[in-house]
Each structure stands twice: as structure tokens, then as C-alpha cells.
Amino acid sequence: MRYGSISPNLFTENRRRFRELLPPASLAIFHSNDVMPTNADGTMAFRQNNDLFYLSGVDQEESILVLFPDAVLPQYREILFLKETSEHILVWEGYKLTKEQAREQSGVPTIMWLESFKSVLPALMNEAENVYLNTNEHIRSTVEVETRDARFIKWIREAYPLHQYRRAARLLHQLRAIKSPEEIRLMQRAADITEKAFRRLLGFVQPGVMEYEIEAEIFHEFLRNASRGPAYGSIIASGANACILHYVSNDRECRDGDVLLMDFGAEYANYAADLSRSIPVNGVFTKRQRAVYEAVLSVMKFATARLVPGGNIEEYHAAVGGQMEQELIKLDLLNEQDVKNQNPAAPLYKQYFMHGTSHYLGLDVHDVGFKYRTFEPGMVYTCEPGIYIREEGLGIRLENDILITRNGPDDLMKNIPLEADDIERLMKR
């Protein structure tokens, strides 16, 4: 792997916490993601299933993790099944994990080759009452292909119809919402790589540069710092493109007088960073651009201060919306009397700020977790207010990644330039 070694204690502890949530006689089975095809004999780059990675640290395709705390035989309480290498695989695909390496990397004591799985499974199922199986239960997920998990669920329910089948995802959502110190270290590394890319751009962006050239500079900086690449599709949106929330074409020329909205983040060891910045293409904000920028920054600081233990997402978003209303009134985008008389179910600020302010961040950019769970130490949220004025061709979004702690919010991106004066100063170099 490109990233540095991760202590197996992280994964051992994650498995321990998961086991504590299981009722007696429960077996849990986790599969790696598929290698996805493109066309002809092509395939996409492999990306591990985040739940399997969270519990094992194994970043290899065709892997299966089995957890069975109450197994009679101790060697069956944790088993990692791996694809066995061969001379053919070595020549055409290269390195695969040995049993010793997998044991050292994951902390799982029993490593078996994948071909043994179906011969071992009957003994495990004979002892188990409950079987926990994994699926993608993200509230915003749309899955139109049959995954390895889905195929296995169909097969095992047909082969063993009388067991009690349960959802592993709900348990993982509970656990993954709270980040351990080691996870925070990895996320900080992703944020630091993202900072390097942004500082690189401050000396690169100028009128006439193409959006895709900026994207290339980001990708270059990510790769040279041991990131696999972007954690999600980078948004490089100049001028009116910034008013398209998920703009990813990145094919327009950046023009003198434009504001450039960039939303990108590095992935490091499968963990994501998520940054948004808006900068003037020519290095200097106009009076109007700066006013809008300062309004967004004011809301961002207001929101960040409220990412503290004990809060909840509904009250938080309501408070941020109220603050945004006041900023939009100052910008003459909303009328104070209209705001007083508005329908609370359809607040007027949504004309200019259409998306939520924060979401979980972790192994996924929109990480898993229960949306309405009370804010707790160890959670990481983005903070990303924005104002999008389509009639002016101006969109500004600012975003940092915030760790909730007992002592208040800890900004993982506090070293990344944010103030308008700092942006202009750094772009003059």
C-alpha cells in the first residue's frame, strides 16, 4: 500500500467493540467489494469495502472476514479468508498478502485461503443462531448493481433458511460514527495532504487556466504525498459553474473576474478529507465578491462553534439557517419582512443555500452514522455553508473538517488558509 503501516490494534479494537454488540450465538460475515468491470477486459481500480477494512485493515480483493465470538473452537472465533497467490497471479497481478502478513496487519489470529470458506462455513452455521450480514444502508445510497454482499445474502439464505438473519450495517453505523485517536491521525494526514494541494493552487490559478488543469495539479500533489488520489470527484467550478452544486465537468476556462469554487479532498489509508475554498481567479476579490465571501465565512464560524457535545443536527441546521438569513438580508438578497412572514417549512434562505451545513466524515466522504444522533466526542463533521447567486454567476462555499471533542470543536483544517486577506496575499506571490 502507498500509505504507511497502521497499528493492528486499531482493527483489533474495532472488532472487540463490534463483538460487544452481538447477542449470544451470533456469526457475522463481511465481504470485500467486487473488482468492477469497465469495457472489454478493463477493470476499475479496486476500492475495499469500508466495513471490512474497518474491522480488518485488509485492503485486498476477494477477502472475507468471519467473526463468531461464541464458537466452540477458539480458532474459529475470528477468521480471515484471503485469495491465495499463484505463479500466474504473481506474474500478471503481483503481490498478494501472505498468511503471516495478513495476521500481522489485521491482528486476526486465524488466516485461511479463500477456497476453504465453503468447507468451514457448515461447522460455523451449525453452532450459530443469528447471522449478521452486511449491506450498504447509507441513507442516500442508490445501488443498481448486484454486489458481492447481495449475491452472498441470496446464496446463504437459500442454503440455510432457518437461521435468524440480522443487519450488520446498523451496528457498524453506531461504531464508525466515533473515531479513535488512530483514525483521527489518518484523517489529519488526509487533511494535511489536501492543504499541500490547496497551497499549490494559490500559486497556480490565474486567468486563462482551464479547470481541468487545476484538477491535474490537485491530483499531482495527492499522488506525490502517498494518497491514492481524490476521496471523491473534485469540483473545480469557475464563474457560474459554482452555482451547480455537484459540478464535475471541470472543462471551462477560468476568466478574469471569476470566483473559482473548489471542493476536493485527499484520500489517505481509505480515510477522506473534504475541503471547499473559493478564490478570485485574478487574485483579488471585487467588493461584492468579498462581501459574499465574508458572509459565508461568518456563517461558517457560527456553525463551527456549535459542533459540540450534546447538540443535534436538527437544532444545529435550524440555528445555522437563521444566521444565514441575517447574512442574506445584509447582502440585499432577502427582505427582512419577507423572512418574518415566510413559511417555516420552506425558509427563503434555501433559494441561496440549498444544501445542509454538515455531514459525517470518515472512511466515506458522506460517512455512515445515525443522522439524528446527539453530537458526541470523536465524531467528525464537515462544516460547509455556501451562498449561490445564479443571477450574478457567483457561488461561494467554504468547508473544513471538524472533530467534536469534550473541549469544543477541533478544526482538522485550521492550517489551511481561509481568511480573504490571506487568500489574496498568498495569490500575489
Q: What is the CATH number of the domain that holds 69?
A: 3.40.350.10
pLDDT value of residue 10: 98
* Contact residues for 143 (Cβ-Cβ < 8 A; gap 6+): 136
Same domain (yes/no): 150, 203: no
Same domain (yes/no): 76, 131: yes
Confirm whether pTM is higher than 0.85: yes
Q: Please pick, among 366, 373, 410, 411, the residue that the annotation labels catalytic.
A: 366
238: containing domain? 181-427
Angstrom distance (rounded) from CA 52 to CA 34: 12
* Contact residues for 131 (Cβ-Cβ < 8 A; gap 6+): 26, 27, 28, 29, 125, 156, 160, 163, 164, 165, 166
62 in catalytic set:
no
Q: Cell 459540540 appears where?
A: 308
> CB under 8 Å, gap of 24 or more: what pairs does 59-63 form?
59/1, 59/270, 60/32, 60/96, 60/97, 61/32, 61/33, 61/34, 61/35, 62/32, 62/114, 63/31, 63/32, 63/114
Angstrom distance (rounded) from CA 85 to CA 95: 8
Same domain (yes/no): 294, 396: yes
Q: Please pick, among 355, 376, 390, 422, the residue that the annotation labels catalytic.
A: 355
Final residue before a domain boundary, out of 124, 150, 176: 176
Q: Is residue 3 part of a domain?
A: no
388 in catalytic set:
yes
Final residue before a domain boundary, out of 132, 151, 176: 176
Final residue before a domain boundary, out of 148, 176, 204: 176
Angstrom distance (rounded) from CA 393 to CA 419: 22
Angstrom distance (rounded) from CA 63 to CA 114: 7
Same domain (yes/no): 242, 186: yes
Same domain (yes/no): 142, 188: no
Neighbour tally for 208: CB within 10 Å: 10
Q: Please pick, among 59, 211, 217, 399, the residue that the annotation labels catalytic.
A: 399
Same domain (yes/no): 132, 221: no
Q: Is residue 2 part of a domain?
A: no
274 in catalytic set:
yes
419 in catalytic set:
no
Angstrom distance (rounded) from CA 329 to CA 361: 31
C-alpha torsion 148→154→160→164, nearest 10: 90
Q: Please pick, among 61, 217, 384, 401, the residue that the annotation labels catalytic.
A: 384
Q: Is residue 100 part of a domain?
A: yes
Q: Please pick, among 61, 274, 325, 327, the residue that the annotation labels catalytic.
A: 274
Q: Please pick, among 34, 217, 221, 263, the residue that the annotation labels catalytic.
A: 263
384 in catalytic set:
yes
263 in catalytic set:
yes
Same domain (yes/no): 133, 248: no
Q: Please pick, among 359, 360, 364, 381, the residue that the annotation labels catalytic.
A: 359
41 in catalytic set:
yes
Same domain (yes/no): 106, 223: no
Q: Is residue 107 part of a domain?
A: yes
Same domain (yes/no): 132, 232: no
Same domain (yes/no): 276, 375: yes
411 in catalytic set:
no
Grid cell locating 429: 506571490
Angstrom distance (rounded) from CA 379 to CA 371: 12
For residue 403, the domain's CATH number is: 3.90.230.10
Task: Extract the residue ranges of the chain whose pLDDT is less than 70.
Answer: 1, 91, 429
Same domain (yes/no): 171, 190: no
* C-beta of residue 311 within 8 angstroms of C-beta of residue 374: yes
Same domain (yes/no): 93, 214: no
Q: Please pick, among 2, 157, 220, 246, the residue that the annotation labels catalytic.
A: 246
399 in catalytic set:
yes
How many domains, the chain? 2
Angstrom distance (rounded) from CA 305 to CA 407: 11
Single-letter amino acid, residue 3: Y
Within a 13 Å sphere around the CA of 157, how many CA atoms are in the beta-carbon half?
11
* Mean of per-residue pLDDT scores for the chain: 96
